[in-house]
Structures are given as structure tokens and as C-alpha cells.
Structure 1
């Protein structure tokens, strides 16, 4: 029997790769995509049933979820800037709507893509699935916690679900990490505020592998898993490799963390007073996440699900940089 899978966030980086994997595996794929999204024609041409709607629209969510055996919930507002209510409505309210429909229609498994931002990672040396969540009055981390708690609550009412906590997700096609680093390095705007900070990353194919294991393995039910390749690299080394690839001098300026975070806070205040929709050059959330020193322990995923990072970090970075230099530099900064 062919499995029917709903992917939310199918127009995004993670969601689009989940769609491709499900199609490759022979599943019937549905995608909940906002009306007018440019990816709709290509999704339909690849055989995906597109439900035009928004996770904030409970009726559209219900139409999308109905008849599905599996829901891969990757839709989220992932910026570090924007109205708090939008984050609440999408990351919390949208996840609640997905869970309610999944319960109503007897979905066999929900895989929720959460985030390592649920944890106070920049002040900890190690995080795993038992590390307590930590709200910090920041839009994305706090609402990812809220959305993830909606999944835990639905599990108590009988929903079969699994939760993933990815670190920085990268790979060809990503519009968040490598392109934004390349843009700031090219413009000579990049500097450091935490020396030799470990950079926790996961290559997109490795994350998709983990998601599919969480979707299919009985051992994954009612469990959560850290998602990280687990290979050592510093933020400085990532920036150096990006700089070499784009032919720019690597950043060398180091400033105190406290000073940079204070400046970021002042910029946020100024931007809000001005009513700017564009994000400041720095936000406190960005400063915190790029100063993280936490090692994400993935031993649970390896032991419980037999997961491995099939694409080594060096290879993943090489593939990503090869793609990056084919992109017009004016298109690197899209957020």
C-alpha cells in the first residue's frame, strides 16, 4: 500500500528536501503551501498534491492532513526579526493546528522539526534531549519551545509523534547560513565575538535521513532526537572556508561578546522605533547563536535508530561551497 505523506514547509529548505525524499521512496506526497508561492507549479509537475493554504488556517490544515499516514511538519517562521505575533501564530498556533488535525484523522506518525534553539546552548558546554528548555524573550527560540510543547501535549492525548532538534542545517540551496556569511564577508562586515566557538551543523541529507527514521521506526515514537553531524569545526574555520571560496579576505577582527550583544540590543531598539521591517545588521539572537559553545550529543539517535551522518562534514561543506559560487552574489542575502 502506498503511504500518503503531508509535508508542511515544502517551499523551504528542509521541507523541499523532505518532499524529494518521499517522492523518491514512492510515497504519495501532499504539501501545504501558501497561496501564490512560486514553488507550486514545480511541486505539481513533480507529482505532489498541493493544498494551497497556511498553517495558521485550521481549515486548510485539516484538508491537508485528512487521509495522511505521516505528517512531516517543517513549516516555521525562522527569522530572527519580525512581529512577535507572527512567530506565535505560525510556530505555536500552526503546530497546534497540525497536531489537532493529526489526532482527529488518526495520523500514524507526526515528525516535528523543532530546533536546538529550544535550549540555552550558548551558555552550555553540552546539550542532549534531557537538557531543559530555556525561554529567553526572543521570538524564534521561545515560539519553537511553544510549538514543541504543543507536540508533547498532543502525545499525551494519543498522538504518535517524534521530535527532532536540528542544529545549523546547511547544504546546496540553503538561504540562511552560508549565503549570509558569504554576503557579510564579501562586504567586509563580518567580525567575531567568541574565539574558537564550535560550530554545530548538520548536512541536509543527513537530517532527512534522520527524519525518515523517526517517521518509520517504532522506537522513535514519543521520543526526541538531537540532530547534528557531530564533527568539530569552529565558526572561524567556517568563515575562512567561505572566504576562500568566494575570493575574499577572511575576517580577522575580534570584539568582546558583551559589547557586541549590547550593540545588537541597541540596534534592535532603534529599528523598532523606526518601524523597519528589515532586520538590523545584528540581533541578540544572532549574536547568541553564533557564540554557541555547546556540543549537541547525538548518541541517542545513533543508538536508538542506528542513524549515521552518511555525508561527512568536509564533503558537505565542499558541496555547499560549490553551489554557493554559482549563485549571483546579489542573491546571497535574501533574509
Structure 2
């Protein structure tokens, strides 16, 4: 089939391109000309469509002859106003989906996130499945707009236009320069990451990049997935703070041992979130800490992926195998300093 991939110049998007190519698909990517396209230019047969999700005309041009859309592009940072998040994550998805339907595409695979279920007053989420409801109030604009976009995608499912949402959790692996793992390793290299565990064990589902990308390719072909969301994760969850200590040992950083006052930290995060609602701050920078970032490191978040294993496929790359591939890639690019160089 002919597949269009958005967000292809990014980390997960580039792995979706690889997975589509392995499956024998013709691959077109919707990218900005100013994006870093160096990796995509090494993938044989990739067709480039230049444009932007905010430009409906370029989206329609990119959609010509496409059978399936893998929509990976999104605004994922803490930086930005409500208008920016809604335009890129919700309206952008609607524009892309509308163009796909008009062009006769048969399937739309939306890359959602478990963050869509993160609420302001939420706590641990352990082994939850897809029946878990959305919260009344989301933790941040990213969570809110991913939930809104997912709901619109699934509501658009028709017999001649299959829509499916995948929720990969904490994607990691080679070619990631700005995600959670390089950010945390960068802090441990300088010894600036405190122990936020509060003395309790915090469990997390992670998703190796190829496992997430393979799920996308399967979702583009599987029967019975229309109108459904799926959690996508590695076979086994990890204990967050033990994993961070192991990463510090692997890459020469200092494991987080310095304890901080949790109550003070939560108050600082709340204050930062309130201040960064002001457009002058939100447009220029990310908050130094947020309730969302704090929740990722202090709330357990594990997912029942039995539905994905039944309807799509079980993850084929285990944690240790993925870590070995990550280490080999880090060596190839020049070491851990290069891995974390782009972290801001």
C-alpha cells in the first residue's frame, strides 16, 4: 500500500517510515523543508511532500493516491499557548483526516498517547486497559489536546474509512535526541537529577521504538480494529528509579540519590504551571518544572496490552535487546555526549 507518514523527521516517525518500508509499502512523508531530513534521505524509495499540517493545500497535495495515513506529528513540548496546542494537535489532525477521506484513503492510524488519560487529580494507574475513561480535567495542554484529537479520530471511523488510535508509552531507542531518556541521562551526567521517588517504588510501562512502529504497520492491515484505541508497550514494565540508576551506571552518570521535599516541589510545579499559562511566557520557553513532568516520574503508569497483543502483535524487542541496540547506536554516533547534545 502507499503510506503517508507525518512527523517523519522526528524520532518515532522515522521508525514508522522504516517499518513501512520493511513491510513493502511505498512511503511518502509530509515534512517541512527546514526540518532535519538527513536520515530520511538515506531510506531508499521515500517520497518527500513538503508542507505543514496548518496548510490545508499542502496536506491535500500530500494525500494524492495514499491508502493509509500514519499520523505521528504533534506538539509534544511544555512550551506553547492553548491556541498553538489546539491548532497543531486537534485542528491539524482534523485537516489531515478530512483530506484523507476526500482523497479516498482507506485507513487512518493516529499516534495518540497514554498521557491523554492523565488528570490533574490522578494518581497511580496500574495495569489499566482501554476501558479507563478520560479525566474530567487534564494535567496539561498536551494531555488535553491528544485526548481531544483521539476522540475525533475514533468518531470518524466508517466502513470505508477505518480509524484506529495507538497509545505507545514512553517511546525510547536509537535516533532519540530529545525524549525522556536523553533528557534524564543528561541530568544524571551533571548530577542534577534528584531522587523524586519519595521512598516508594514507581513502575512504568515503556515502549521500544521498533515495537511502536511495528504496531502502526499492523494497525494499517488488521481487521476489527476500527474505532478502537490500543495501549502499546514493551512486554514488561520497569521500576523507574532502579532503571535510572542502571542507566547512570551504563553511561557514566551519577544516579539520583539527593532527596527533595515533595510538598515543596509540588507547590513549585503548580506555581510554574499557573505562570506559564501567560502567553508571553508560554510562547518563549518551557517551565523549569511542571506537574506533568513531576507526574511522569512519581506516578506509577503501567498498561494492560492484551488487546494490542491479540489484535495487532506482541512486542518483538525486549528491554535488554533494545538497550543493547541503543548502546550500539550511541557508540556509533560518538558517545553519550552526542546522544544528549541536543537536549535543551
TM-score of the two chains, using structure 1 as the length reference: 0.91
Cα deviation for residue 107 of structure 1 reads 0.9
> Cα–Cα, structure 1 residues 50 and 27, in superposed 2: closer, same or farther, change >3 Å?
same
Q: Match of 1:85?
A: 83
Q: Match of 2:297?
A: 290
Please show how residues 163-202 of structure 1 align to structure 2 within 5 Å. 163-174=165-176, 175-194=178-197, 195-202=200-207
Measured against aligned partners, the alpha-carbon deviations of 1:299-332 in whole angstroms (never above 9, x if no partner) come to 1111223x11211112212322443462435843
CA–CA separation in structure 1 for the residues paired with 2:27 and 2:46: 5
Please show how residues 288-327 of structure 1 align to structure 2 within 5 Å. 288-305=295-312, 307-324=313-330, 326-327=335-336
Q: Match of 2:128?
A: 127
1:275 aligns with 2:281: yes
CA–CA separation in structure 2 for the residues paired with 1:223 and 1:142: 19
Q: Match of 2:105?
A: 107
Cα contact 1:99–1:150 (8 A) shared by 2: no
Please show how residues 136-151 of structure 1 align to structure 2 within 5 Å. 136-151=138-153
Cα contact 2:185–2:340 (8 A) shared by 1: no
Cα deviation for residue 176 of structure 1 reads 0.6
Q: Match of 2:156?
A: 154
CA–CA separation in structure 1 for the residues paired with 2:207 and 2:339: 26
Q: Match of 1:50?
A: 48
CA–CA separation in structure 1 for the residues paired with 2:230 and 2:190: 37
CA–CA separation in structure 2 for the residues paired with 1:119 and 1:270: 24
User: Which moved further from structure 2: 251-260 or 213-222?
Assistant: 251-260
User: Which moved further from structure 2: 142-151 or 233-242?
Assistant: 233-242
CA–CA separation in structure 1 for the residues paired with 2:159 and 2:290: 38
CA–CA separation in structure 2 for the residues paired with 1:101 and 1:56: 12
CA–CA separation in structure 1 for the residues paired with 2:249 and 2:42: 39
RMSD: 2.3
User: Which moved further from structure 2: 238-247 or 316-325?
Assistant: 316-325
User: Which moved further from structure 2: 222-231 or 266-275?
Assistant: 266-275
Cα deviation for residue 203 of structure 1 reads 0.5
Cα contact 1:122–1:289 (8 A) shared by 2: no
CA–CA separation in structure 2 for the residues paired with 1:258 and 1:114: 31
Cα contact 1:197–1:292 (8 A) shared by 2: yes
CA–CA separation in structure 1 for the residues paired with 2:297 and 2:173: 18
1:334 aligns with 2:343: yes
Paired residue secondary structure (2:204): coil
Cα deviation for residue 268 of structure 1 reads 4.1
Measured against aligned partners, the alpha-carbon deviations of 1:74-99 in whole angstroms (never above 9, x if no partner) come to 01111122222221111101110111
CA–CA separation in structure 2 for the residues paired with 1:89 and 1:158: 27
Cα contact 1:65–1:105 (8 A) shared by 2: yes
Structure 1: 5+ residue stretches without partners: none
Structure 2: 5+ residue stretches without partners: none
TM-score of the two chains, using structure 2 as the length reference: 0.89
> Cα–Cα, structure 1 residues 141 and 219, in superposed 2: closer, same or farther, change >3 Å?
same
CA–CA separation in structure 2 for the residues paired with 1:271 and 1:154: 34
